Structure 1
Amino acid sequence: MELLDGSDPGAIGGYPLLARLGEGGMGRVYLSRTVSGRPLALKTVRAEFGREPGFEERFAREIRNSDRVRSPWTTAVVDYSPVGQRPQWLATEYVAAPSLAEWVQRYGRLPERSVLALAAELCGALGAVHGTGLAHRDVKPSNVLLGRRSPLLIDFGIARAMEDSRHTRTGGVIGSPGYLAPEQASAGGSGAPADVFSLAAVLVYAATGMGPFSRRDEEVSAAVLLYRIVHEEPILDGVPASLISLLRSCLAKDPQQRPTAGAIGALLERLGGRTGTWPQLLPEALERDIAVREGEAHALVAAPAQLPPVAAASGAAADAPASGGAGTAAPPAIGFLRRRLSGRTAWAIAGTVTASLIATAGTLVLRHLPGDDASGGTPSPSSTVASLPAAWAGTWVGTGPGTPSADGVTQARTNGFAVTLTLHRALRGALAGKQVSHVTEVGTGRELGCTEALRLQEVRRTSMVFEAATNHPTDQSAAVSCPKGNIYVVTMTGRDTLDLGEEGAQSAGAPSTLTRR
């Protein structure tokens, strides 16, 4: 991570910017967070693409398409910019892990067993993408994150939209030249076979530290690499013998001769490359790297939640949450963390405090994000406004199952969970209504519910974020703990239905949907 500087806004699309994660051909990537504390990777799109006719519509279409791919190897889309907003951006789940490119540049090639596991996992990723009728089009080392649970393939929504734009404009190509398929290099189009070619090139890089069309200690132009891809055979020196035949078939010049991702996965399994084995094969240095990144992210995501609101930096949306970034004065603790980010020599220090940082951030327990729910809903572009719309005003009710099978010790056993949410028009930052819950304990009949006055904290196109400004037991005589400060994310899924979701402080057994009364 890097410090924010004067060229970085304090927030984009209502999401605070906490640190810079990197910069590439598509734009800058920032660490951000949801209002309830879940870390996000917010990726901006360079202005040159946004100016291309029709790019905004392609961008939104490709993001919707990419959200169809739900798998352990892809990051969920959370939000993206509406048409007309500048800069254009995309917010996804943040994965605290280095890219394959970063890892190899820093530590060198991966061991053979890790390469086999990586190959199996990435075949699973491509299988998930191709199974929806899509192609990634930009598989390269910097788009592979070496996550703790599995590698992840990122960025194909933006990559597809940008590729369409560049083809329309100049007939050119997009992507890292050393990892493009011949048909991409010659601007002849791309699809699933091109992804297979690129995957093989990435695996050669993981195994040898070089792409299959590069030579050690040489610097060549993109034009030379593109020529080699189209006309020369790949260099597989240093590739494990068990993989040479498979990778050579994947690197065939003719797309029709390449195996599918599914066929590659079956071959890999016979070689010992299986999905699910990646976590056991992580190099020790990679585990340390991930732990440090997790610590840094938790520190930056958790710290702003403790601060009073301050004015956002120049260039941020007027009603966006402040980040403590460029143009604002950070408290001493945050200043220390941000200074530490400027040098990797302090990683050992970060590792010692990771546990306490996780404990701080862990006060907000999340399981799903908007746009990543079990129903497979597609995220809508963010559109921040300053008040609760009239359509939300009224009384909303719902009943959940409670927790009848709980152990009665660590979690109360309840046989019903009724919620009444009353909302009225209000400006952002003002009280907008109240939530009353009635929760009955099994056996005793004791009322365990709470009544909360809700402050409107954030407004988006279809979702509202409320904070409990006050909280007390619904039954004043009950000895129930009802802490204030709870965060609730509520999404309108129909004119008369609200989804409480699971982000924030929603309790187990609560209703997932409320209907207008």
Structure 2
Amino acid sequence: MVELWGSGAEPLEPEDPPQIGSIPLAGRLGAGGMGRVYLGVREGQYVAVKQLLSSVVGEDEDFRRRFGHELDNLARLPTEATAPLLASDRAANPPWFATAYIPGLTLREAIALHGGPLPAHALWLLLREAAAGLASVHALGMVHRDLKPSNIMLTLDGLTLIDFGIARAAEQSQLTRTGMVVGTPAYMAPEQASGTKRRLSGATDVFALGSVLAYAACGQPPFGDESGHGVLYRIIHEEPDLEPLRELEPDLAGLVAACLDKDPEGRPTAVELLEHAARKGPFAEPLWPTAITQRLTERTAFAARVQAIDVPTFPLTGGKPETAPDTGPVPVPVSAPVSVAEARPERPERPHRRRRVLLAVLPVVVIAGGTTLAIQHLPYTSSPRAEARTTQPTQPTSVTAAAIPAASTAGVSPSGAASPPAQPPAPGAAGGKGDNQGPGGTGGSPTSVAGGAGGGTQNGSGGPGGGAGAGGAGASHPSGGGTSTAPVTSAPPASGTYRYRNGNNNKCVTQVFGASDFGDCSDASARWTVKGRSDGSFKLSNQQSGQCLYSNGLHQAVFVGDCAQDLGRIWRTGSGGSLRSDLGGGCLDLGMSSGLVTSTCAGDASQRWTRQT
């Protein structure tokens, strides 16, 4: 067995394959709405293997063709900009590809680890490194299109941009062929947020880089951190909030403001940004703050000692043998622009690096005439456990509202019409039998969120309730028979302030800026006040910030924001100690490596939250 300490990977789960193609796997690096990412070993080095979900690819030959085209583009990218493509099999079912493993942290992870915004010297370094990577990409006539903190990987010797291509393949395939565009709202450029068919350029990435720098300096994106209509309206019509950055580093604030110009023609190029940042050097080692450097050192030490993985002597993944992997097109050496090479000095050869990435179809945005914005949310993040239990592709959820949205508690139907959330079966309903005939569920503890409601196991039949709860419910898989797929709802928790501890990793719900996270239960942001409502639902207000936990829909990330609104902020206690959102009906679940999401309620330990004082 491979020792994974320091890698950032988790052990393989029972449903994970032992190998993909000819690459044996050691652990799971993450999972998202479009695929899973594994840690493997190929030719004596660690690699990150990305395997798309069968439910995403399906019979969509157009997607396969465009996916193959994006792999060709990935092979063209310079190694100083991203993790190099090492192998792929676009004809496999499902397709996969492997890149070098990056021993790093995403910018989002690094800021959370540091405990706040980065210091001025680290911000200039972030600008220099990111601008250098973008300059190399733009020189090839390519655009990233989805630059954001989770797609920027810090390393001991700089940073690497990740997640090229997959979202573009989805954007241009049958999944989103109606003039919509892919991107993350808080980091979109106005030309993306407006949904116009204007061709995107390198200026689009420069705008996103400005938003990323503001996030790293101020703790939140310059137009807000929610994923709805409000942030899109502000991106198009309002000026960014850069006051904290102006106080910290006025020169950098001026550059960021230029990056955030509404007119693409008014923004500096990546090369110009690189030249500005290079003048702030030299940047002495260690490049990043102490806590970040320590974690990066662990990652690098792991990458340096490649361990052997036992390769199975017979196929374990089922079905016909996989086709032999191809190595893709031979990368064509491309000379970087002279200004890029001059501005950033030659760096020593990097160790093999991990590319940790959420493969995702992200929120999709389009203007539908007048001032009305329509947002189609496709699944873009989920926990490994959530992905494992999903047997059917999730249908998109459309949300239509005015440019300045009004608060609402209504659920949303796939057709875009608002409708009340589905009501769960009454407590005490008989548990149906699950899809794998497992044992019956046991009752929750008296201190659980559900107040002791019993719940069936993921694959088992409903068992007797415990504590103050009622009889267990069967599995929530669409294929499971017996009861409704909605989770059993228990009595709301008593008013008070609590910590919510997860049954999978014993971490507690915390707040990191405008996002939810899981962390040390002793953290000051781990205490949440229950604000009960007359219908038995409640809001969870963070005692430290006064902001409320809110869902952005099923299979979406969970954020923290203004308690005055209701949309997504209404929660109910569910079976097995779960917290169920009225928006989409999903249960609060662990994210990939940080953050929380809402996933299909299935009674997993990762969805069990024990309430503690």
Range into which the TM-score falls when normalised by the shorter chain: 0.5 to 0.7
Q: What is the total number of aligned residue pairs between the two structures?
A: 318
Aligned pair partner of 1:146 in 132, 136, 154: 154
How far did residue 221 of structure 1 move? 3.8
Q: 1:250 maps to which residue? A: 259
- Greater shift, 98-107 or 121-130, is seen at 98-107
Select 2:137's aligned residue among 129, 140, 155: 129
Distance 1:258 1:265 in 2: 13
Asked if structure 2 preserves the Cα contact closer than 8 Å seen for 1:40 and 1:92, the reply is: yes
> Which protein is bigger by CA-based radius of gyration?
1
Structure 2: segments with no counterpart, 5+ residues: 1-8, 335-613
CA distance in 1, matches of 2:233, 2:24: 44
1:141 positional shift: 0.8
- Of 192, 207, 210 in structure 2, the residue corresponding to residue 200 of structure 1 is 210
Aligned partner of 1:17 in structure 2 is 25
Task: Decide whether aligned partners of structure 1 residues 29 and 149 sit closer, same or farther in structure 2, where only a CA change above 3 A counts.
Answer: same
Q: Which one has the bigger helix percentage?
A: 1
User: In structure 2, what is the Cα distance between the partners aligned to 1:173 and 1:263?
Assistant: 27
CA distance in 1, matches of 2:242, 2:118: 15
* RMSD across aligned positions (CA): 2.9
Residue of 54, 57, 62 corresponding to 1:54: 62
> Distance between the aligned counterparts of 1:165 and 1:308, measured in 2?
36
CA contact (8 A) 2:75 2:330 kept: no
- Map of 1:226 onto structure 2: 232
Cα distance, 1:210 vs. partner?
Answer: 1.2
1:273 CA drift (Å)? 5.0
- CA offset at residue 197 of structure 1? 0.4
Measured at CA, do residues 24 and 232 of structure 1 come closer, stay the same or move farther in structure 2, by a change above 3 Å? farther
- Cα displacement string for residues 145-167 of structure 1 (whole angstroms, at most 9, x for unaligned residues): 10122200112122322332378
TM-score normalized by structure 1?
0.56
Q: Summarize the alignment of residues 394-409 of structure 1 with structure 2, pairs less than 5 Å apart.
A: none
Question: What is the distance in 1 between the residues matched to 2:137 and 2:203?
Answer: 12
Shift of the alpha carbon at 1:279? Answer: 4.6
Alignment pair present for 1:286 and 2:296: no
* Aligned AA (2:240): P
Q: Secondary structure at the residue paired with 1:7? A: coil
Q: Is residue 317 of structure 2 the alignment partner of residue 314 of structure 1?
A: yes
8 Å contact from structure 2 (residues 78, 136) kept in 1: yes
What is the CA–CA distance in structure 2 between the aligned matches of 1:373 and 1:286, rounded to whole Å?
A: 35
Displacement of 1:137 in angstroms is: 0.8
Q: Which of the numbers 209, 214, 218 marks the counterpart of 2:219? A: 209
Look up the equivalent residue of 2:296 and give its one-letter code. Answer: I
Q: 1:127 to 1:10 in 2, by over 3 A?
A: same
TM-aligned CA deviation for residue 296 of structure 1: 4.4
Asked if the contact 1:150–1:278 (Cα under 8 Å) also holds between the matched residues in 2, the reply is no
Aligned pair in 2 of structure 1 residues 313, 261: CA closer, same or farther (>3 Å)?
same
- Alignment of 1:40 onto 2:47: yes
Task: Give the match for residue 110 of structure 2.
Answer: 103
Q: Aligned equivalents of 1:191 and 1:315: distance in 2?
A: 44
Alignment CA distance shift 1:315-1:241 (3 Å): farther
| Partners of 1:140 and 1:231 in 2: CA distance | 21
Map 1:151-170 to 2 at 5 A: 151-165=159-173, 168-170=176-178
Matched, 1:70 2:78: yes
Contact 1:11 1:317 in 2 (8 A): no
Q: Deviations over 1:237-259 (max 9, x none)?
A: 32132211111111111111111
Q: Take 2:171 and 2:307, find their aligned partners in 1: how far apart are those partners?
A: 37
Kindly provide the amino acid, as one letter, of the partner of residue 233 in structure 1.
E
1:67 alignment partner, SS class: helix
Match of 2:201 in 1: 191
The equivalent position to 1:266 in structure 2, one of 270, 275, 287, is 275
Distance 2:268 2:63 in 1: 33
Report the TM-score when normalising by structure 2.
Answer: 0.48
**CA shift digits 1:75-102 (9 cap, x unpaired):** 111122223x222222111111111111
Query: What is the SS of the residue equivalent to 1:54?
Result: helix
Q: For 1:221 and 1:86, how far apart are their aligned partners in 2?
A: 33
Question: C-alpha displacement at 1:128, in angstroms?
Answer: 0.3
For the residues of structure 2 that align with 1:9 and 1:263, how far apart are their CA atoms? Answer: 46
| Conservation of the 8 A alpha-carbon contact between 2:158 and 2:287 | no
Find the counterpart in structure 1 of residue 307 from structure 2.
Answer: 302
Contact 1:196 1:250 in 2 (8 A): yes
